[in-house]
């Protein structure tokens, strides 16, 4: 099992450009998440998908959109990149539970720089 995979691993964008970060998991998890990690800030949730067909905003959703393509795949799109979106982006997945948040398994991350 590959676990959670992300593409690309590195990306440099110019301000105003758009791109999509791809994420896939092979653990048959229902829930998937996108986080950003900035120095000294820990991880902050951008969007999540509790189950296939649903998506919801997290703590810092502005400037991003997501698509839950199917149970395995969850993409994050930056429509018009800004320097403030320079960060490391992590995708994660977990089992589904209404009263229990199971541990999340993370992908290797995408390091994005916006100039």
Partner 1 sequence: AQKVTQAQTEISVVEKEDVTLDCVYETRDTTYYLFWYKQPPSGELVFLIRRNSFDEQNEISGRYSWNFQKSTSSFNFTITASQVVDSAVYFCALHSGAGSYQLTFGKGTKLSVIP
Binding site for partner 1 (CB under 8 A): 31, 33, 40-45, 48, 50, 56, 58-59, 88, 90, 92, 98-109
Helix (H, G, I), strand (E, B) or coil at 4: strand
Helix (H, G, I), strand (E, B) or coil at 54: coil
Q: Least CB distance from residue 35 to partner 1, whole Å?
A: 8
Nearer Cβ to partner 1, position 38 or 79?
38
Nearer Cβ to partner 1, position 14 or 103?
103
- DSSP, res 102: P
Closest Cα to residue 27, out of 112, 110, 105, 85?
105
Nearer Cβ to partner 1, position 63 or 109?
109
Q: Least CB distance from residue 112 to partner 1, whole Å?
A: 13
- The dihedral through the CA atoms of 77, 82, 88, 94 has a sign that is negative
């Amino acid at each position: 099992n590959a676990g959670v995979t992300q593409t690309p691993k590195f990306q440099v964008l110019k301000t105003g450009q758009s791109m999509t970060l791809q994420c896939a998991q092979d653990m048959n998890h229902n829930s998937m998440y996108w986080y950003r990690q900035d120095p000294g800030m820990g991880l902050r949730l951008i969007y999540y998908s509790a189950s296939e067909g649903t998506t919801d905003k997290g703590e810092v959703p502005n400037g991003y959109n997501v698509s839950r393509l199917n149970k395995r795949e969850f993409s994050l799109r930056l429509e018009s990149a800004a320097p403030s979106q320079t960060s490391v982006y992590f995708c994660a997945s977990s089992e589904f539970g209404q009263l229990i948040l199971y541990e999340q398994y993370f992908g290797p991350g995408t390091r994005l720089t916006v100039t």
